[in-house]
């Protein structure tokens, strides 16, 4: 980057550069407008114009590796978490937003389980480290939905064990598309 004393008079004025920027923006605006109008009447079909995705009515398909909202995976009974409350996810979490309270099964002296498992989604940066750290495949981010406005209080953004378990059940029942549809429905009527 040039220092101010190295700049020419033209560069110091800024105005020509602002004008150049506006010309580039205007060029793309009018070009896209013209192409979209022509395509509406059946012309210029092969010409590519910029498209704004009308979210949430439309969306780009997410890749399979997309990191969506968390869920806790379930055992075969579909009602117990796989999580053994080992704390590896909480330790790996750079945002320190996972809270776990471990408990013991009365009939199992080895394995533990989380009495409480919470993720503060206001602090979460969706890095996926918790998923990578988990040795039991107990937490995943494959729900296909992204973080949204869950309410007006801070507490509303804390996803509990029950919410994270329910998401697994809903995903199994409705699939990613169904879950996504439910997620965006409130935004469609705003
Ligand atoms: S995605 Fe990253 S920030 Fe969010 S809970 Fe997992 S480890 Fe923490
Ligand atoms: S989600 Fe995985 S890493 Fe986190 S406490 Fe449970 S078993 Fe351990």
CB atoms within 10 A of CB 143: 21
Looking at the CA of residue 131, tell me the nearest atom of ligand 1.
Answer: 6
Nearest Cα residue to 183 out of 142, 147, 141, 139: 147
pLDDT value at 190 more than 60: no
Bond preceding residue 56 cis, omega within 30 of 0: yes
Over range 42-46, report the average pLDDT.
87
Q: Determine what percent of the chain is predicted with pLDDT higher than 70.
A: 99
Q: Write down the pTM of the prediction.
A: 0.76
Is the pLDDT reported for residue 189 higher than 70? no
Of 72, 134, 135, 159, which is best to mutate to test ligand 2, by the most ligand atoms within 8 angstroms of its C-beta? Answer: 134
pLDDT digits over 55-85, tens only? Answer: 777 888 888 889 999 999 999 999 999 999 9
Is the CB of 81 within 6 Å of ligand 2?
Answer: no
Position 157 confidence tier, pLDDT thresholds 50, 70, 90: very high
**Strand bridging mode 139-140 / 158-159:** unpaired
Q: How far is the CA of 100 from the centre of ligand 2 (A)?
A: 9
Distance (angstroms) between ligand 1 centre and the Cα of 30 equals: 43
- Label residue 41 by pLDDT band (50, 70, 90): very high
For the chain, what percent of residues have pLDDT higher than 90?
A: 62
Cβ atoms within 10 Å, residue 118? 17
What does the pLDDT read at residue 9?
83
CA 3 to chain centre: 40
> pLDDT per residue over 94-148, tens digit each?
999 999 999 999 888 888 999 999 999 999 999 999 999 999 999 999 999 888 7
């Amino acid at each position: 980057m040039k220092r101010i004393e190295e700049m020419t008079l033209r560069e110091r004025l800024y105005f020509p550069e602002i004008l150049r920027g506006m010309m580039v923006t205007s060029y793309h605006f009018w070009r896209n407008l013209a192409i979209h109008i022509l395509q509406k009447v059946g012309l210029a079909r092969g010409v590519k114009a910029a498209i704004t995705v009308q979210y949430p009515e439309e969306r780009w398909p997410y890749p399979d590796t997309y990191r969506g909202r968390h869920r806790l995976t379930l055992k075969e009974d579909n009602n117990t978490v796989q999580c053994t409350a080992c704390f590896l996810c909480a330790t790996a979490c750079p945002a320190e937003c996972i809270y776990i309270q471990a408990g013991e099964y009365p009939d199992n002296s080895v394995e533990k389980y989380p009495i409480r498992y919470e993720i503060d989604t206001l602090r979460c940066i969706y890095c996926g480290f918790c998923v990578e750290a988990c040795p039991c495949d107990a937490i995943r981010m494959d729900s296909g939905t992204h973080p949204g406005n869950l309410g007006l209080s801070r507490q509303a953004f804390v996803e509990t064990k029950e919410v994270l378990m329910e998401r697994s059940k809903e995903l199994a029942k409705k699939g990613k598309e169904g879950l996504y549809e439910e997620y965006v429905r409130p935004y469609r009527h705003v």
